[in-house]
Chains A and B, each alone.
Chain A
Amino acid sequence: MAMARIWTCMTAFAVVFGLVSGRMDAVCSGALEGASAAVELCIKICGVTCLWCGIMEVMSKAGITEKLSKALYPILRRLFRGLPEGHEAFGFISANAAANMLGLGNAATPMGIKAAEKLSDGTGRANDWLCTLVVINTASIQIIPSTVAAIRAAEGSPAPFIILPQVWISSVAALSVGLAAAGILRRLWGS
């Protein structure tokens, strides 16, 4: 329902603003242009999206996702303090993080939900581990932001991937601050 309110507010606000500023003709053509721009955008980025999904499928079949999730285990163990070693959630947590890093959203979410089921205590209250899992997912690091690169390529950039270092720095900064905030809030929040 949140999206329903947001969308309605956006269009209503555009109409009110257009009426006040006398730009209703522009608002009218904007509405029509927007709808076709959405289709154009999808066509423009579809090729790269498909290519990247294909490469990712090859990577998971070759076992790269598993390798990455094994490599992430020692780091994740520290973030889920108090969770017993070898807890069955760990397998899903690392698979979820690895899939997120590779940009495999479709694989990441089911893994993450399985991890959440294992971590949940069934009380309807999120424990510290569940909160941490969700914070990691909301600030996940994607190594190759393929959709954004596809848009840049479609708009004629000669180097669509030049933003990689900035994307990496920003996502690492976001994740670090998210985890730091998690560490502080965990102590302050109580139940």
Chain B
Amino acid sequence: MAYITNCVIPLIIAGTGIFALSRGVDVFSCLTKGARSGLDITLRILPALIGLMTAIYMLRSSGALDALSSVLGPLCRALGIPPEAVPLMLMRPISGSGALAVGSDIIARFGPDSLQGLTAAVMLGSTETTFYTIAVYFSAVGIKKTRWTIPAALCADITGLVTAALTVKYMT
């Protein structure tokens, strides 16, 4: 399985190059132009990450995160979710950089291929920053009555987070 997924990326990279070149795209200058925009993205998230990682490291070293995990532990275990993922689940719909901060902390602390680390990675990869997305779209077109958007989006989030924990538990 690891071998197959490791094949995906090199194949995409080379395949994109071959396809684009055959259509007359200047592949390399496009690649570098895109890479430049990656630098902008990284620089844009850095200030928020500094603020949030500071807050999360403070919370963790105060023992508050462990206390939260142990309070919600029994409920989580019943659902098949590692309790250490609780802070990530709370942060995920609210802030993208906050979730990145909490998630990368879990991955670094428990190891990328531990149950906790894998669960955090799948949760990060399969869900979106719901409240931020809703705010961006509805404020852009001046919507005040959001009606059923938030409940439907939260149903999707909870499903994504629980499925992430279950697929990691039973598929790896």
Contact = CB atoms under 8 A, between A and B. Distances in A.
A59 B50 CA distance: 32
A20 to B, nearest CB: 9
B100 to A, nearest CB: 7
A135 B60 contact: no
B136 to A, nearest CB: 7
B58 A31 contact: yes
B152 A162 contact: no
A163 B57 CA distance: 26
Given A157-B113, A174-B159, A27 B55 contact: no
A151 B121 contact: yes
Interface string A1-32: 01100110011011101100101001101110
Main secondary structure of the interface of B (DSSP, over half): helix
B78 interface: no
Contacts of B5: 159, 161-165
A14 B146 contact: no
A10 B133 contact: no
Nearest to A150: B104
B137 A55 contact: no
Contacts of B12: 55, 144
B153 A138 contact: yes
Contact of A145 (B95, B98, B124): B124
A55 B118 CA distance: 25
Contact of A137 (B30, B63, B128): B128
A156 B110 CA distance: 12
A53 B38 contact: yes
Contact of A42 (B45, B67, B125): B45
A151 B108 CA distance: 9
A130 B105 CA distance: 36
B121 to A, nearest CB: 5
Interface of A: 2-3, 6-7, 10-11, 13-15, 17-18, 21, 23, 26-27, 29-31, 33-35, 37-39, 41-42, 45-46, 49-59, 61-64, 106, 109, 112-113, 116-117, 120, 122, 124-126, 130-131, 133-135, 137-140, 142, 144-145, 147-149, 151-152, 155-171, 173-178, 180-182, 185-186, 188-189
Interface of B: 1-2, 5-6, 8-9, 12-13, 16-17, 19-20, 23, 25, 27, 30-39, 41-42, 45-46, 49-64, 67, 94-95, 98, 100-101, 103-105, 107-108, 111-113, 117-118, 121-128, 130-131, 133-134, 136-138, 140-149, 151-153, 155-157, 159-161, 163-164, 167-168, 171-172
18 contacts: A14-B62, A27-B58, A30-B62, A49-B38, A49-B42, A55-B34, A117-B140, A134-B134, A138-B133, A148-B121, A157-B112, A160-B112, A162-B1, A167-B126, A170-B163, A170-B164, A178-B159, A181-B156
